[in-house]
């Protein structure tokens, strides 16, 4: 890039707190672009306005009490009023005449609003050119279809099911229209998986020329130390680990039923499900109802690295990802043996019986079979974990990622 413009990342969720996929992806983008020598500014929502200089760039928190109280863990529901708020914060900060905005999924809406403003009133905006990039993993419709299919009355109750249905049919139908609008305005849509491209092409009829597929790099980060949770696990039992958000599309309720099956079979293990989310309490209640005393569900864990190193097995029961999963990549990077559902882009990362055991979604019996197989065959588990690690470094080598990202940005 001849003039090396500043890069403004719109992450939405707080990258320094590390809760949720967009926060972690935004963090990784900041770290990557900063290492390439770009001036990086990251925008996200939080309790109050704040600017923090960090190794990943300058992090701008846009204060919103509504987002951090009423919409905690579901900030996306406030996109309609949060996107303009972020756009205004960026507008006040812009000093260059040419900038690059990199939005994380639907949070790109803030960049789309800025681009329209700079086009309609360029002299007042003081910007000659905005290049808008949207880093996409799934569509709003695809994601919330997964949430809707995963929430069951028998596991979560009638009220939760009704709430999800109302949100889907009345709110996120509208959000899909907004998404169509922002994807039309976006200059380039960055994807990392063929599955994501296919979802967006099918839903929005977008030209293939608008897509650029880039590899990306993830690393396990220690999040806010204030959220540390003390957990006691039985040291002599193999640990099964899941790190993910508690919402309907992640299939945690189906995993809990799979654990119940393992317990009835007499399989000895302990399990840890780490993560926050709107269904956390419901899953804690379901675990208690199923008598899963050997399964810990503490909520958000600030630093998951010790558990990734300690665990014998990583399990991922998701019903919808759009792409693959950051949690899967973290497990691959650690060389863990993995049992996962074979949805969306996950089979692009993992090969059944070669680097993991892949099973159909919403099938507790198949999940239980896969976990029991690897727990009872440590040699096979070690082999799959080794192959998963090799596959990770073949696909997500940091030097390769840096080279391809740099070449892409230089070509804008």
> Are the CB atoms for 369 and 339 separated by under 8 Å?
no
> Are the CB atoms for 41 and 8 separated by under 8 Å?
yes
What sign has the CA pseudo-torsion 247, 250, 252, 257?
positive
Average pLDDT, the chain: 88
Most confident of 70-84, 222-236, 244-258: 244-258
- 3-state class (DSSP) for residue 254: helix
Strands 338-341 and 7-12: unpaired
Helix-strand-coil split of the chain, %, nearest 5: 50, 20, 30
**Domain 7-217+397-410, what fold?**
Rossmann fold (3.40.50)
Greatest C-alpha distance within the chain? 72
pLDDT for 23-36, tens place per residue?
Answer: 888 999 999 999 99
pLDDT for the residue numbered 2: 46
What is the pTM assigned to this prediction?
A: 0.88
pLDDT for the residue numbered 298: 92
Strand partners, 240: 271, 313
pLDDT for the residue numbered 350: 96
Half-sphere exposure of 23 (CA within 13 A, CB side): 23
What percent of the chain shows pLDDT beyond 90?
63
Mean pLDDT of 5-31: 85
pLDDT for 273-324, tens place per residue?
Answer: 999 888 999 999 999 999 999 999 999 887 788 888 889 999 999 999 999 9
**Among 26-40, 81-95, 243-257, 381-395, which stretch is predicted with the lowest mean pLDDT?**
81-95
pLDDT for the residue numbered 19: 64
Q: Cα Rg for the chain, rounded, in angstroms?
A: 21
Half-sphere exposure of 72 (CA within 13 A, CB side): 10
Mean pLDDT of 316-333: 93
> Are the CB atoms for 76 and 106 separated by under 8 Å?
yes
What percent of the chain shows pLDDT beyond 70?
89
Q: What confidence tier does 3 reach under pLDDT thresholds 50, 70, 90?
A: low
Distance CA 14, CA 11 (A): 7
Reply yes or no on whether the pLDDT at 126 is more than 70: no
Q: What confidence tier does 128 reach under pLDDT thresholds 50, 70, 90?
A: low
226-395 architecture in CATH?
A: 3-Layer(aba) Sandwich (3.40)
Mean pLDDT of 155-182: 86
Q: What ranges do the domains of the chain cover?
A: 7-217+397-410, 226-395
pLDDT for 353-410, tens place per residue?
Answer: 999 999 999 999 999 999 999 999 999 999 999 999 999 988 888 888 999 999 999 9
Reply yes or no on whether the pLDDT at 112 is more than 90: yes
């Amino acid at each position: 890039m001849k003039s090396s413009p500043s890069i403004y990342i719109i992450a939405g969720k707080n990258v320094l707190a590390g809760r949720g996929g967009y926060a972690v992806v935004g963090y990784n983008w900041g770290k990557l672009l900063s290492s390439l020598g770009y001036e990086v500014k990251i925008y996200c929502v939080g309790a109050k306005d704040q600017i923090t200089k960090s190794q990943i760039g300058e992090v701008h928190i846009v204060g919103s009490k509504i987002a951090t109280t009423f919409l905690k863990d579901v900030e996306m529901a406030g996109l309609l009023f949060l996107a303009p708020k972020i756009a205004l914060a960026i507008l006040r900060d812009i000093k260059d005449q040419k900038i690059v905005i990199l939005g994380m999924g639907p949070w790109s809406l803030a960049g789309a609003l800025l681009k329209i403003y700079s086009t309609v009133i360029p002299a007042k905006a003081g910007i000659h050119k905005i290049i808008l990039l949207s880093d996409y993993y799934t569509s709003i419709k695809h994601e919330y279809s997964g949430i809707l299919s995963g929430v069951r009355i028998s596991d979560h109750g009638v009220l939760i099911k009704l709430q999800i249905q109302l949100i889907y049919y009345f709110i996120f139908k509208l959000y899909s229209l907004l998404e169509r609008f922002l994807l039309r305005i976006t200059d380039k849509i960055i994807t990392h998986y063929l599955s994501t491209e296919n979802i967006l092409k099918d839903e929005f009829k977008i030209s293939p020329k608008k897509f650029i597929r880039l590899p990306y790099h993830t690393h396990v980060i220690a999040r806010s130390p204030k959220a540390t949770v003390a957990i006691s696990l039985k040291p002599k039992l193999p640990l099964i680990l899941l790190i993910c958000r508690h919402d309907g599309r992640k299939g945690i309720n189906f995993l809990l039923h799979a654990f119940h099956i393992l317990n009835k079979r007499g399989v000895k293990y302990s399990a840890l499900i780490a993560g926050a989310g709107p269904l956390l309490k419901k899953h804690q209640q379901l675990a208690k109802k199923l008598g899963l005393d050997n399964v810990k569900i503490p909520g958000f864990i600030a630093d998951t690295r010790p558990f990734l190193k300690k665990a014998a097995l990583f399990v991922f029961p998701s019903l919808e990802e759009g792409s693959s999963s950051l949690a899967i990549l973290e497990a691959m990077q650690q060389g863990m043996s993995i049992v996962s559902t074979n949805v969306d882009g996950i089979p692009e990362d993992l090969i059944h019986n070669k680097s993991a055991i892949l099973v159909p979604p919403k099938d507790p019996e198949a999940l239980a079979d896969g976990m029991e197989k690897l727990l009872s065959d440590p040699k096979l588990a070690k082999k799959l974990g080794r192959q998963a690690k090799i596959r990770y470094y073949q696909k997500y080598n940091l030097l390769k990622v840096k080279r391809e990202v740099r070449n892409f940005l230089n070509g804008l």
